[in-house]
Amino acid sequence: MTFTSLFSPLQGRLATLLIALCCAGSGAASAAETPATCPPILQKSFNRLQDDAPQNLCQYAGKVLLVVNTASYCGFTPQYEGLEKLYAQYGSKGLVVLGFPSNDFGEQEPGKGKAIADFCYNTYGVKFPMFEKTVVSGKSANPLFAELAKAGGGTPKWNFYKYLVGRDGKLIDSYSSMTKPDSSGLVKDIQKALTQP
């Protein structure tokens, strides 16, 4: 015997309608709650470097993020290796490194998406998320970098500038290109951030 057969046909239809409305209402509430769980700084989408597939940064909500503007032909390019080590060591604890190639400084990232992706993987074994080449400084800076600068992190002065963002989506600190990924200060800040809720 079904739930609706307990009622007259009219009551059965009303009951079915009420059940449908309840379910739809709960789905709408769930959809409305999703943005609230994603900090405003992450409510942005960028294309993945390898294949231009759109990626919503909300997928990294609740993680500790190290956001870095990168370049393939820079004196700091070997930092890719250290960034990948950080990602490998602390990824299971909640750290995600996000790489944004940029040609802003010294035109040291002249290539296109797939060529940059191949270089990063083949030369440095980069597996952390990388996004399409972008502008990270000045009036045309992409929305993430503009917001990080506005939050007090300053604007990148060169390639491999770094921003550390906590699980709550708030900027913790920023680090110059001279700060190596394995520097004690940066590592200590990452470890501390990973212990925060």
For 68, 156, 168, 170, the CA distances from 165, given in Å and listed in that order, are 11, 15, 8, 6
Residues labelled as active-site residues: 74
For residue 35 the two structure tokens come to 């943005």
Give the Cα separation of 69 and 79 in Å (integer): 11
Q: What is the DSSP string of 42-67?
A: G--EEEBTTT--EEEGGGGTTSEEEE
Neighbour count for residue 83 (Cβ, 10 Å): 24
Q: In this structure, are strands 54-56 and 162-165 parallel, antiparallel, or unpaired?
A: unpaired
Contact assessment for residue 124 and residue 42, using Cβ atoms and an 8 Å cutoff: no
Residue whose entry in the numeric block shows the structure tokens 């996000």: 98
